[in-house]
Amino acid sequence: MTHCPNCHSKNLRRSRTRNRWERWRKEITSKRPYRCRDCQWRGWLSVSVDVEETMPNLPTAADPPNLRGTRLARSDARQKLDLKALDEFHTAAHKDDT
């Protein structure tokens, strides 16, 4: 287990997800919400198991034949999901709510 980034205590526990955003984030990343019992810090930390090891690379579905050659066809260039940008967006939106 890791330590609290705020007070460096090892007295951490897993925290429950609060909303749809957090449940979705938990499903697609290897990070989980934690809370420090000493300083009450709450945040996301990586779990020790690597998601790539537990979930094999699944093949993507091919384009349906009726979309090939049209504007609706899937492009070959796949975009990676930038989790840091999502974290920054979520943190900024959360600060605006308070």
* DSSP class of 14: E
pLDDT of 39 over the 90 cut: yes
- Domain map of the chain by residue range? 1-50
**pLDDT score, position 50:** 43
Average pLDDT estimate for 24-39: 91
What pLDDT, on the 0 to 100 scale, is given for residue 49?
47
What strand order describes the sheet that includes 31-36?
A: 12-14, 31-36, 42-46
Q: What is the pLDDT of residue 46?
A: 86
Segment among 7-11, 42-46, 48-52 with least mean pLDDT: 48-52
Q: Is the pLDDT of residue 20 over 70?
A: yes
Classified as helix, coil or strand, 16 is coil
Euclidean distance between CA atoms 12 and 52, whole angstroms = 25
- The DSSP code sequence of 74-86 is PPS-PPPP-HHHH
Position 66 scores a pLDDT of 72
